[in-house]
């Protein structure tokens, strides 16, 4: 099965080249797709310079929308799964390859699980992740230990069939709930994360307002997506 890596990117010109070069170094045969979500800082030009596949949104639509665009593009070209990698350089290329090669069934979601305390995550990020973990686990009906990690392997056809229209960061949490309630296997795999010094961090995640929006989406999902009899 050919491996594909999907990198949703917004205002990531400063970090994207390193991410793409790292993935090429560990998996020269893997397909790389960048979805530029309406960046104005030259993110798309970085992808073009390195010769990777690129899809561009005319305006910023949110991470969830960028992921759905990438999933559809890859599925239409015959890929069965894709590993999503954040464009900010926090994920190790070796871990992305680990997920791509993991022995879980192709129809499973393979979820990277970070040790945020060990890897020096900011306190606000640890709180936000713990908050999301509690709510997602509750609605999914199973314990999940890193619901905000963007390093994952998705089964493309299954993921697109789950029907989430979330546009922002809530997409990733909502997909776990939808998948679990529909009986999709979720496999957790330990991964590492790199947090640069505070002055070098680039994040568009808002640690207060985004989790609140995510919980609202999860409540709606739990009320509208029935559990599969097999789950």
Helices (H) and strands (E) in the chain, counts: 8, 7
Tell me the pLDDT band of 204, cut-offs 50, 70 and 90. Answer: low
By three-state DSSP, how is residue 91 classified? strand
Mean pLDDT (the chain, rounded) = 90
H or E element that contains 180: helix 170-181
The residue that leads in pLDDT, 5 or 170, is 5
CB distance 160 to 72 below 8 Å? yes
Decide which of 231 and 93 is more confident.
93
Q: Does 137 score more than 70 pLDDT? A: yes
Which residue segments constitute the domains of the chain, with CATH numbers given?
A: 4-224 (3.90.550.10)
Q: Of 62-66, 81-85, 118-122, where does mean pLDDT reach its minimum?
A: 118-122
Instruction: Tell me the per-residue pLDDT of 97-107, one tens digit each, with 9 for 90 and over.
Output: 999 999 999 99
Q: How confident is the model at residue 202 (pLDDT cuts 50, 70, 90)?
A: low
At residue 22, does pLDDT exceed 80? yes
Model confidence at 206: pLDDT above 80: no
Tokens of 2: 């050919």
Kindly indicate the confidence band of residue 130, based on its pLDDT and cuts at 50, 70 and 90: confident
Which is more confidently placed, 57 or 169?
Answer: 57
- Separation CA 182–CA 184 (nearest Å): 6
Burial class for 124, CB neighbours closer than 10 Å (0-12, 13-18, 19+) = exposed
């Amino acid at each position: 099965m050919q491996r594909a890596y999907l990198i949703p990117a917004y205002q990531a010109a400063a970090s994207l080249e390193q991410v793409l070069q790292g993935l090429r170094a560990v998996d020269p045969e893997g397909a790389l797709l960048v979805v530029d979500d309406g960046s104005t800082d030259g993110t798309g030009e970085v992808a073009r310079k390195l010769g990777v596949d690129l899809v561009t949104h005319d305006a910023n639509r949110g991470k969830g929308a960028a992921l759905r665009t990438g999933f559809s593009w890859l599925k239409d070209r015959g890929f069965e799964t894709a590993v999503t990698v954040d464009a900010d350089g926090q994920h190790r290329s070796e871990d992305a390859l680990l997920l791509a090669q993991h022995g879980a069934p192709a129809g499973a979601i393979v979820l990277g699980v970070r040790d945020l305390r060990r890897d020096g995550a900011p306190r606000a990020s640890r709180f936000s992740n713990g908050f999301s973990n509690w709510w997602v686990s509750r609605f999914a009906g199973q314990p999940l230990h890193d619901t905000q990690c963007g390093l994952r392997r998705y089964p493309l056809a299954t993921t697109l069939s789950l029907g989430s229209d979330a546009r922002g960061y809530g997409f990733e949490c909502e997909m776990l709930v939808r998948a679990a309630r529909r009986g999709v296997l979720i496999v957790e795999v330990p991964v590492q994360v790199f947090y640069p010094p505070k002055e070098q961090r680039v994040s568009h995640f808002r640690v207060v307002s985004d989790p609140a929006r995510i919980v609202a989406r999860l409540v709606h999902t739990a009320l509208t997506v029935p559990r599969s009899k097999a789950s």
